[in-house]
Structure formats: structure tokens, C-alpha cells
Amino acid sequence: METRMVMQREKEENLSKMSHGMEMSSQATKRTFTSSDEEAPYSDYYPIIPANLMSVKEILNMDNLPRHRTWEILKETMAADEEYHRDKWTLFGNEVEKVEIDVIRNQQALRTRPDIMGLRKQAEQKARDHMRYLERLSQKAPDFPIPLRAHTVWEGMTVKLSCTVQGCPTPKVTWYKNGVLLRMSEQPWNYSLTQKFGLNSLEIRRCSSEDAGEYKVIAKSALGEAMTYATLVVNSYEGAMAGSEHSRTSTLPLKEEAHFGTTFPPTWVKEGESMTLQCTFTSGLLPFQQDVSWFRDGVQLHQSSTVDIKTMENKASITLMAAYKEHEGLYTARLKTYDGVQDSSAYVYVTDASAAVVGGPASPLCVQVSDINKDYVFLTWQPPSADGASPVEGYYVERCDLSQGKWVRCNVHTQKMCYYPVFGLKEGAMYRFRVRAVNKAGAGRPSKATKPIVTADPLEQNRTMVVKVDRGRKITITKDELEGQIKNPSPPTNVHACEVSDTFVVLSWTEPEPRGKEPLTFYVERSLTGKSSWELASLDMVVNSPRFPVFDLVKGKQYNFRVRSINKFGVSDPSEPSMPISLGKPQEVPAPPQSVMAIRDTDTSVLLQWKEPKEKDDILGYYLYCNETGTQEWKIVNNKPVKGTRFTAHGLKTGKEYMFRLKSVSRAGNSVYSNVSLPIVVKSALYVPSAPSAIALLLCTGSEMVLGWRAPAYNGGDPVRGYYLEKREKGMTTWKEVNIKPVNERKIKVSNLTSGSLYQFRVFAANVVGVGNPSEASEAFLCEKWTMPEPGCPYDLELREVRDNSLVLLWQAPLYEGRGPVTGYLLEISQGYQSDNWTALNDKPISGTHYKVSGLQAGQTYRLRVLAVNEAGVGSASLPSESVTAQTCPGAKDIEIGVDDDGFIYLGYESDEIRDGSQMLWNKNYREPIDAERAQVQTTNDRSVLTFTDPSEEDLGLYTVAMSDNPNVSSSYDFTAEDLERLKELSWQVRNPLIALKSDWQVEVSETGSVRLWLQTESLSDAAELRLIFNDKEISSTPRRKINFDKAKGLVEILIDQLSLEDEGSYTAQLKDGRAKNQFTLVFVDKKFRDTLALADSNRRDHQRKSGPYFQEFLSWSVNEDCELIIKCKVTNTTKDTSLRWFKEGVEVIQAVYDRASGVSSLTIPQVTKKEVGSYRAVVSDGRGEDVSTLELLGGEYDKLLQQLSKQCALSAGPLRIQGTAEGLKLYCLLKYYVSYLKAIWYFKEKRIDQENRTKTGSSLQNIWIEILNPTESDKGGYTLEMFDGEETHKRHLDLSGQAFADALLEHQRLKQAAIAERNQAKVTKGLPDVVAIMEGKSLCLTCFIDGEPAPEVFWLRNDKEINNQGQFVITKEPKCSTITVNDVNTENSGKYSIYVRNKFGSETVDVTVSVYKHGEKPPANAVEMGL
């Protein structure tokens, strides 16, 4: 209730202040003036007001108004068209008249007003100079003329502590309570601080015992420091002094603010993929902390369609929907705190996506659009870091009109520089742009597209003015309305080059003034400098904006340009020519940076520094590249140019050696590589340790205190060598050393203390680099002898073996045991960074000083503490351990147990974290040292081994290992009795080894009939020994039975040239090699022996057969993919005299082919028929002997052949096809060829098709078909052809419906009509001879037989002209025949004669050549002689 009243009172005060501020602001008026050094706006001098709103005619007639060419033109125009425009001039009443008069009055005043602003600036400057002079004269160190005084008040009262401070410059005043900085934001409802005219007051409302204490004020300035303090005593109404336990009143505790817990590390993301960065907090965010800000390279990021920012109770994240190279940089999460802000930063690297073409370059970046006009923009970009397989040759610029959604290339030829003018755009359209790099492999990936831009006139806003009138109304005035009467345009001015490169020039000019209301376009003309002839530079291009790029200039020549304005009324005069303009010199790529130096940073990063080149004006940044020593690959470090001369490269491998080099980046491209840095091994740099923490009082005797503390969180890369302690009495500011020499343990005894006094302590850690920062001051410990019965707090809590679901906690027993010895310990756990909700881990006390905590949640953060127990009860809790996240570190390993090569039992541990100078500390039960007589420790590289001398039950127990300078690298193993028994047996086997057997006794029979008995063991030394025992007798090598012993291979073999019955029995090989030995027995009797003997005899006989040519492969048959029968054999051991002959049924087959080189002979039968049945025999022979192979292709073997042939034919069958015929639809399947053994069955809609009137099936050599006669709609459906080869069924299916059926039916109808037409077509059935010879004077008779329905018409032609039936020519026509008779032929009747027949189904022409020869001449040899 009290707090609510205080808040209500503050709310009323704030409302009062706000209302007072509003009253003051409403009374103040602000006047603005324009000084002479400021450019006055256009409207201040020349009012631009439309004619339909107010009378401009009166303004134009005023003599004292400054004139402008616009007004002169308007006046002339109005005089000429006064009668036409008289009705359009309207006066809008008194309100508009007021505006008109005010405008005129203000313009007149502006011309005569003195330069008030300039005078004011001079006066203010003089005043500042005078004040600085007075300050220098009055400088004084801080002082308190009126110091603080002590107060004693009752609870619930309000007290004000006041003091005055003086000094020049004004000192900074800071308030402290009990030595701690007083934060007003912690209890704004309780504290109120005011500072006015040197009076500093602290008002404390409703005092409680918590407000009692010592208040101190410190004033600081550059000249010194002053301090004053006083004590506040708060009495309770019960009469107790402040500080008594009975007088304490409950106050509203200030919630603990959140801090960063786990933060995001350096991150790599592939171009175009999404990325999320996340950080967690130690507790829930307070209301004022909810707004977590994100920054990239210092620029704040906001929520958008491509950026998703989320803040939850205890974590915050940012997600980029698609990462591009422009998004690479240093990302920072910023959290508000009571003292300001807290940042967490990490670098994000964007790697190249896969190349668009093999060997192609990476994508450019940072495409920027500038100088936006109606039809023109200017683009700039940055080159990529990766050239690809060849250097970048140039760039392609692409644009996308968002109304069309299509990317179009802007330049035909590659642009070498990283800038380009884009011309010919549509006014008012929305565009995006992107760039591709090009090398010999082709165009690479496109860059990130620009944001959409709208092409428009950039000066449009300057031609518009808004005038405010009474009652909030506005009048919009544009130049276009005033210049509406301008017809013929004026020429542009100030023609010059705004962009110059070695390939193009961009011209710029100023539009004419006045411009007129009508839209303007421009003509650009050019001339060589010194010439008087001008040519059109813009040709057929429409220039809408005052920008025009010119690409076709000749290098080394100078040009002048001029521009004409154009509107619908005409073309202006040309502008003044520009100054001479020429192409610029090619921009050179920059020089590379120098003096590249790599410096140790962390275990995975290196700090790089370099010097910039001398010419650095055009450099945009630098690309970095790294190489792991021993490899040939140079990797890209960054894909966004780095500015400055230092950068930290992350993601390196710990302990590996790297080299670095750089490139300078400019618009002209990337430089060559810099010199390579010296190799550097990636390891953490050495720093002083961080500050220790958690100082605890472990024991107090009244004059001595024993203190303990927590080790630094970071040792600086070198083990902590010792600690220094300082002390001070409470209220004092001076710290005093406790120990001159460093202490190695994390505890110390402080002597010579005053009983009853309060002391504070702080600790420093030191390593080889130096002494680190001090810890925070401990709480004030009262020096008073401990007499409580409960034990003190345990101390020195350590965390080991942190895994996803478990960890091990170690601690030291309390130094103060209380009334009795400590009997056990209780453990408590808290989830979160700063949570005070503690949960017991064990119900019953444990006796040891270590405990394995299980059942943790992976990724959660925990704190632990320990309480000691004795007979009197539970003592105070230890300070909480450091916060730890349950997470297995990458590469974490466990202790392994085994037996080494010498038979010793060992415990081994490997870790990649072991560094130079690190020690692996082995202990038993975490604390007990290892007895050197029972075990020895040896550490080499990244492996540490604990080897037992002679393990026994005394050595059983829990063994632990930890790195000396990184206890997080740790593990443990419980050495049990089962392990001891198992490993002792294995140790005995190692110390008393058996020769290992690779292959037991084997029996082999060679092709010649000899027998080999052999076995193989592991490799043996040269000192190995062998004894062979046969039927209890040792044997040695003889000519008939040779014994071989290959020690290197461990091979023992017995070679028997000709096996006999006397070789039956058991064979034993006894081997010995140093300590190792073994023996192996072969029982070679009974069936095994008899089978071997028979095989040896058979091979011996076969070997004798193979003394001459013989068949390596006997006759066999196969069917290939072409359904051909192949019968082949293979012979070997042949000579040039060897012959190979084939026979079938005793008749030699000469079609067989024999290849002497390979020994293969084959007979190919393309098509199998009944005549292939029979017995085949092949004979190979020469002077050394002969061999015969026989193949009986009869009965079942022939049936098997047909089945395989049918299968192969069915496999060769293609898909079912449909064909329209004159009779109907034909479904068919093509094969290599068809055999009758292959049974073919047709199905329609899964029902077998039997032979019927409307279907007809058949087959040919390479075809199986079914024909559907006179098809109808009912024939639609699925057709299946089943081919059975005797074993398997092969199917082909066709769905005869839809378009396939319609097309086939249409083809059938067409062919049917074609068949009818062909059958009834007019034709000549018996034609004429090709050449006819006849003697002059005779009669020629040519007769043709014709056919066709209906009866065809008949025409006779001579030399393609119709012959009439008259005179010399007589034509007879009958239904099936026609004759032409030529009477009394002469030479003029020679030529080509034709008969032409036709009816409605077609026509046909038959030609004959008639040759007339004279008496005495011989007819042509190839002619048929005729004549009556």
C-alpha cells in the first residue's frame, strides 16, 4: 500500500511537470532568419502561385519587386493573351488577399533586412571566447564548503542528505553507500537525487533499517578530487538501533538483472542459405531489457521480410532468411543493464555458393544504385574474392523490370571496371539490378539484387511549393502551372562530363529555366574539338533526362558536346558547347598491402596486421587468404572486403601452422597477392589471468582468518603461478598487502587482525605474463572467533568430466568442524545462472569429497553447492560453483584400459587439447596421489598412460586424470576386480604368447599330380625353429618328400612328388620362436587320404594328355543378344603346326572360325532351324598328339537350346506398337527374330483373344502381330502380349484408347480410302514400249489397255499437246482399250507420244518416243520397229 502511494505521488508529479512544459512551449514562439552565408530558398524571392488561386497580375506590375526571366516571359504572354485569360484570373476573397499581401510584404522585408544571423553568430562566438577566458581565470579544485552531516531518524520518516560542492571546471559528483556506488535506478521510489547550483541533495523517503549506513560523496575533476561522508542511523519504534535483527523491515527486493549466458561463436554460412544467431541470458529479461538490439558492423538491424528478430524470456535470436556476402561482418547483440549496455559480438563469414559453371568466378557484391533519373541510373559494385579457374575478365550487368519479372542483360560487351551507366530505362518503372563476373569458363553466379528503385525526375520536388493558409489548409503551387504558357523551349546549360572512364563518358547538363509545362526531351550533338561540323550523338535514342552515356568515343581524341531541348512545339537552339572532353586513362588495379604479420590470438584464431600501400585512395578494403602449411590449397578467409589494417581470422585448427596473404580491392579489380606472412602455429596468446572470484571465509579464530577463493575462469594461456591477497578495514579506501610471496593454494591464513573489526579482501592471480586484475572486494567479514556447533562451509569447488547428462563435483572439507568431526555432506543444485531455487541431490549425507551428478538435461545450465554435516546439524553452504552447461565438449574422450605389448596393465587417455607445457595429472579417488612404486605416468604428444607395475587388489579403485591448466579436460575410470581378473589373463597371454595361426593345415593337388601339405602362421623371426613329426617319428627333407620353412612368411610346407599309400598318417609341426611356441597336427588318413590319392592320379594322367595341344575349354553353346547360336571351344598349348577341325555327323564344318592368338574357335549360326540338330565334334592335333571335344545337340539339349533362344528372342522384343491398315488396326511387336517354340498369346482387357472373324493373328521372322478388322469403339482398352519361352512369361502391354486410338483409327480410314482409290484409279494396264522406230511413209498404230472404275477418259498427246481425231491421226476408244493410228508418217511426226487416262480417283500418263527414219537408214538400236 505504501509503495502504491509513492508511485501515485510520482505519477502526479510527472503529470504536473508535463503540463508545465506544455504551457511553456505554447507561450514560446520561434522565429527563423536567413543569413547571408545561407542560400535563400527560391520561394523567398520569387513567389510561385498558380493564376487560378490569386491575382498575379498585380504582383507583376509592382516596380519594387525583384525581377526574374520567368516573370518577364509570363508578363509578355499575359499581355498578348490578356483577353483569353481574363476569365481565368479569380480572387478568392479576403483570406487569399491576406496571403498575397503577406507574401509581398515578406519578400520586400527580406531584401532590406540586415544580416541578423551573421551578427548573432559573431556575438555568440565572442561570448564563448569570453567564457573560456573567465573559466581559465577561475579554475579551482573540487571542494565541499558545506559537507554532509550525520542524521538519526525514525523508521518511516523522510530524510535529506545535503552538501554543497564548488570547483571549476564543474566537478562530477558521485554518491556511495557503504562503499558501493549508489544507483538511483535500483530504487527510484525510495531515492531522489537533485543537483542544482552546487547544492547536491539525496532524499530518502520512508526510511527503513536497510537505508542505515555510511553515505559518501566524491567530487572529481581534472584538477583533483574531494570527499565528504556522514552516517545515517535509523531507529525502530521498538527502540532498537539500526542493524539490530529485530528492527529489520521487509523491503521490496530489486530483481536481479539478466546478463549474457551462452553467446554465439564465429559462424560460417553458405551464400543464399539461412542463418540464425542465438544467445541466452543468465535469467529472465526484466521489462526494461526486453528490447535486445542487434547490430552488424555498428549498424542496427531491424525486423523485416528478410530479417527475423526474436526475444524470449531468457534468449534472443536473429535469423537471416537468405545470407549474402553483403551480410558478412561483425554481429553484435546489445542488452540494456542498470549501468548501461552489455554487448556480445562474433564475426559471421558468408562462404561462396557452388559455381554457376565449372571454374566460374564467384558473385560480386555491394551493388549500389546512384544518380537515379527518368531513364538513367549509375551502378557501382565490388569485385569477388574468388576469380575461379582463370582471372575475372569483366562483368555483365542485368536489370529486371518488376512489372515483367524477367532479367535482361544491359551490356553486350563485358565491363572491366566495377561501375556502369545504365541508359534507356522506362520512366516511372520499378527496377532491380544485379551483376555477374565473367572469366574464361563463363559467367558466374549473380550478385545479390539491389532493392527496387523507381526511375523518376530527381528535381520534381524542387518545382513544387506548399503554402499554408488559415485553419490548416494548404495550397500546392508548381512551376509547371506557372510555366504553362511557355511554348518554344530554351536551350540547356552547363553541359559537362559527370562520369569519365577509359570506355565511356556520361554527359550531364542543366535543364532550361523556365522549362515549360510540356514534357522535355533532348538531342545530344558532338564535334571533334577544333572542327565546326556537328553530328547527332544520340541518334535514334530518346533522351528524357539530363544524363547521357557515350560509348563510341575514340581514345586520344577530344570532343565538344552540345544539347538541344525538344517539346511538342519545337526544338531549341543548341546549348553552349562543353569544354573539350575525352576518354580517361584506364584505372590501374591497386598495389597489394605490405608487411603482413600474423599474431597469436586464440586456439582457433589469428590476428593479422598489415601496412596499406602508398596509393590507397581508391582501395575499398582487403581480401584475406590462408594456407595450412604442407597443403597446396589457399582458402578464402573473408568474402566482404575488410577495411583497416587488422583482422582476426577465425575457424583455424588448433596446433596447425598457417600462412596468410592479402589482396587490395578497388573498383578497378583486385590486386596481385601480397607477400606471404611468416608461418604461425595456431595457439592462444598469453595474457594475465582473469580475476579470481567467490572469496569465502573458511575459519576465524578471533585474530586470524583463513580465506579461500575460486580460481580465475581464464588463466591467460599459462598456468597460474600464485595468488596475492590484499585487505582493508571496512570504510577504508586503502588496500594493504597480506602476502609478499605468492601462495600456490587457493587459501591463505591472514594473521594479526583486530577482533571485532570488519575486513574486506581481494585476490590477484599471477602467471608468467604478470599479475591480473583484482577480484571484486569480498563482503565485510567480522573478525570474531567461531564457536557455533555446526561445521563451516566446504570450499574449493571444482567441476570435472562435464558431459551431456552428468558431471563430477569436487570440494575440500571445511576447516572448521564445529562441535564434532564432519560426518558427511549434502549437495544442492540450482538450474540457471543466478537462480536461488536450490534442490537437494542426496537425501543422506555422503562421506567423500567428490560426487557424480547424473540425470542432467543436455544444454541446461546449473550451479551446485555443498553443506557439511556433523552431530550438531548442517553447517552453512559453500559458495555456489561456477555456472556450468551440461554439454559434452567436442572431442571429449574417456579413459581406456588394456594391456601393452610387454604385458603390463595400463590406463590411457588421449586429448587433442594437450599443449606444450601442459601436464596430465593422475590421481586416485580425485585427491590421492599415485604411488610411484605401484604405477608410473608417461605423457607423449596427445596421450598420457598410467602403467601398473604389478597390479593387485590394492590398486583397485577410481582413477582420474585432468590437465593441469585446463581441468575441463578430464575423465575417470573405476578399476574393478573383474577388470583385474580379465586383464591379468590377457597379460599372461602377452607374456607367454602362442604363435598365432593364419591358416591351418591345407592339402593341395597340383595339375601335375604332386601333393602339397602346408600351413601358415604369423611372421617369425630368423631364430624360429621347426620340428616335423610323421607317425610319431621326426622326419626331414628327402628327394621324394621335400620340406620347406619360410620364416618371414611363417610358411611350413611338405611337397610330395608322387603320393602313395605309405604317405598316409598324421603330420605334426612343432614351432618355437623365442617365448612363443605352438604345434599343429594334420590327420591325413581314410577318406581324405583316398580322395587326395585319386585326384592326384587323375591330374597326373590329365597332365600327360596336355603334353600336346588340348582343349582348355570344351565345346559349349550359348545364345547372344542378337539371338544367334554360338558354339565355341578354346585350345591351348598349340604351335604353328597345330590344326583345329570341326565335324557334324562326320561331315566337316568349314564355317567355324579359329583365332590362333587366343585359341578360341567358334561357329555362329544366325538362325536356328531343325537342321542344326546333331552331334558336333572338334579335333585339335599336331605332331605331339591330339585332343577331341564333343557336343551332342540332341533331345533335351536341343530343347534347352530352343528355350534359351526363345527367352533371348522374348527379351529382344520391343514395346507394343499400333499401326492403322486398310483392313483395320494392327498391333505388333518387333523381335530379333521369332521362333515357333516361343508361344505368343494375345489378351484384351485381361481376356484371351481367340481367333475370330474380326481379329487375325500372325507372325513373321521379326514380328508378332494381331490385326483388328473393321475397328469400333468397343475395341478400345488394354492389349497384352504374353510370350512364354518354356520357363518364363514375358509381357508387353499397350493401352489402346484416347488419342492413340483416335490417331490409329484415322490412319485406318485414310488407308482404307486410299486402297479403294488405288483399286479404282484410272491406269494403263499394258503400256507402250519406250522407243518406237518406223520408216517414213508407213502407218503407225499404238494400242494401250486401260482400266478404272468409273471408266476413265482417254487423251492422246504429242509433245504434250492433245491430238484431235482427224486427218492423219485416227483415234479409237473402247471401254478397256484405246488405239491411235498415224497414217503416212513422216519425219515431222517424230516426237513424244503420250496416253493420258483419268477418272475421279486419279490419273496416269504413259509415254513413248516415236522415231521416223528414211528409206535406207537404219532404225535406232534401242527402238522397237513398227509399221504397216
What SS3 class is residue 1119?
strand
pLDDT at 917: 61
Closest CA to 591 of 676, 673, 678: 673
Could you give phi then psi for residue 736, rounded to 5 degrees? -120, 140
26 vs 981, which has greater pLDDT?
Answer: 981
Residue 544 burial (10 A CB sphere; 0-12, 13-18, 19+): buried
Selection from 107-121, 1247-1261, 1340-1354 with the highest mean pLDDT: 1340-1354
Q: Are strands 267-270 and 340-351 parallel, antiparallel or unpaired?
A: parallel
Residue 418 burial (10 A CB sphere; 0-12, 13-18, 19+): buried
- pLDDT tops 70 at residue 238: no
Selection from 148-152, 431-435, 1156-1160, 1254-1258 with the highest mean pLDDT: 431-435
Could you give phi then psi for residue 97, rounded to 5 degrees? -60, -35
pLDDT at 561: 95
Give 913-922 pLDDT, tens digit per residue.
666 667 788 8
| DSSP character at residue 927 | T
Give 12-52 pLDDT, tens digit per residue.
555 444 444 444 433 333 333 333 333 333 333 333 333 33
**1259-1275: average pLDDT:** 84
Give 1268-1325 pLDDT, tens digit per residue.
888 888 888 888 988 888 888 888 898 888 888 888 888 888 888 877 777 788 888 8
Instruction: Note whether 884 and 860 are within 8 A (CB).
Output: no
Instruction: Note whether 495 and 561 are within 8 A (CB).
Output: yes
pLDDT at 223: 80
CA–CA dist 993, 951 (Å, integer) = 20
pLDDT at 1092: 92
User: Left (φ > 0), alpha (ψ -120 to 50) or beta: where does 1095 sit?
Assistant: alpha
Could you give phi then psi for residue 628, rounded to 5 degrees? -80, 125
Give 386-406 pLDDT, tens digit per residue.
999 999 999 999 999 999 999
pLDDT tier at 1351, thresholds 50, 70, 90: confident
What SS3 class is residue 1400?
coil
pLDDT at 53: 36
Q: Work out the number of other CB atoms within 10 angstroms of the CB of residue 950.
A: 11
- Calculate Rg over the CA atoms of the chain: 55
- pLDDT tops 60 at residue 323: yes
Give 843-877 pLDDT, tens digit per residue.
899 988 999 999 999 888 999 999 999 998 999 99
What SS3 class is residue 480?
helix
CA–CA dist 921, 901 (Å, integer) = 24
Question: In whole angstroms, what separates CA 916 from the centre of its chain?
Answer: 36
Distances from the Cα of 853 to the Cαs of 212, 801, 806, 811, in angstroms?
43, 10, 5, 14
Is the model's pTM score more than 0.75? no
Instruction: Name the percent of the chain in helix, strand, coil, to the closest 5.
Output: 15, 45, 45
pLDDT tier at 1380, thresholds 50, 70, 90: confident
Give 181-200 pLDDT, tens digit per residue.
887 766 666 788 888 878 88
CA–CA dist 211, 548 (Å, integer) = 77
pLDDT tier at 1112, thresholds 50, 70, 90: confident
Cβ neighbours of residue 1231 under 8 Å, at least 6 residues apart? Answer: 1123, 1209, 1210, 1212, 1213, 1214, 1262, 1263, 1264
pLDDT at 51: 37
Contacts made by residues 211-216, CB under 8 angstroms, sequence distance 24+: 212/242, 212/243, 213/177, 213/178, 214/177, 214/178, 214/179, 214/731, 215/148, 215/161, 215/175, 215/176, 215/177, 215/182, 216/175, 216/176, 216/177, 216/179
CA–CA dist 464, 474 (Å, integer) = 13
- Range from 234-243, 256-265, 332-341, 900-909 carrying the lowest mean pLDDT: 234-243
pLDDT at 40: 37
CA–CA dist 177, 146 (Å, integer) = 19
CA–CA dist 1153, 1161 (Å, integer) = 5
pLDDT at 129: 74
Instruction: Note whether 995 and 1018 are within 8 A (CB).
Output: yes
